[in-house]
Amino acid sequence: MDFIGQGFIKALQLLLSGDKEVYSIALLTIKVSGTATLISLILGVPMGLYFAVARFRGREFMVGAVNAGMGLPPTVVGLWVALFFWRRGPLGFLGLMYTPAAMVIAQTIIALPLVAGLTMSAVQQLSPKLRLQILALGASPLQFWWLILHEVRLGVLAAVMAGFGRVIAEVGASMAVGGNVRWYSRVLTTSIVLEVNKGNFSLALALSFILLFISYGVTYWLTVLQQRRRQV
């Protein structure tokens, strides 16, 4: 227990002292995971809405792919993204390997099925009569989708929390495509792994507390927003 307490104190010291490297790592963590979550939200919510309501050939296959993607191993995602962006890969000419941009792409692929799947599940819990009622009132396609989105807004916020929580905690994909380059592509999870491998457990523990601070802070803010919307 003393070891854990020392790690907590060290985390506070690193934050209060304004350690440039720690702040750089923390800010990059927020930037990469936040951007990935935002992109997955922009792509995943419309996808979830459409798959829940529309009927088309191959829908079962697509829904199955989304559900399977919710459990994608981050290391597998990192491997495939690395193969595509490697120098000899199909997209190697973009020069994105070992960059924060590649990390955003990998994390987006991880978060996207979660956001789409949870959004789809929230819509499917609505009564089919509600959809028919909206159409019967003469709503335009844009109004229809907006009203459906409004009804499942709490589920969408839950999907965002799940997606953000998944990507900010992953390490395999970030390590595979980011390379853990100091001052450039090093995030909190890869830093923790590095310090553990070096045997510097006190610093690894301190960084883990900082990661928990960030994760809880963002999730708490989204939870407050969710509960306020619940009362609307």
pLDDT value at position 135?
Answer: 65
Q: Lowest-confidence range among 21-25, 105-109, 140-144, 228-232?
A: 228-232
- Residues 167, 168, 172, 176: what is their CA dihedral angle, to the nearest 10 degrees? 90
pLDDT value at position 230?
Answer: 59
The CATH fold assigned to 2-230 is MetI-like fold (1.10.3720)
pLDDT value at position 38?
Answer: 95
pLDDT value at position 18?
Answer: 72
Contact 157, 229 (CB under 8 A): yes
Contact 179, 98 (CB under 8 A): yes
- pLDDT above 70: residue 7: no
3-class secondary-structure state, position 232: coil
Domain range summary for the chain, segments of one domain joined by +: 2-230
91-121 pLDDT, tens per residue?
A: 888 888 999 999 999 999 999 999 999 998 8
Instruction: Report d(CA 202, CA 179) in Å as an integer.
Output: 23
Instruction: Report d(CA 174, CA 193) in Å as an integer.
Output: 11
* Whole-number percent of the chain with pLDDT over 70: 92
CA 35 from centroid of its chain's CA atoms? 8
Give 89: exposed, middle or buried? Use CB within 10 Å, 0-12, 13-18, 19+.
middle
pLDDT value at position 229?
Answer: 58
Contact 162, 118 (CB under 8 A): yes
Average the pLDDT over 51-58 and give the result.
84
More confident residue, 196 or 9: 196
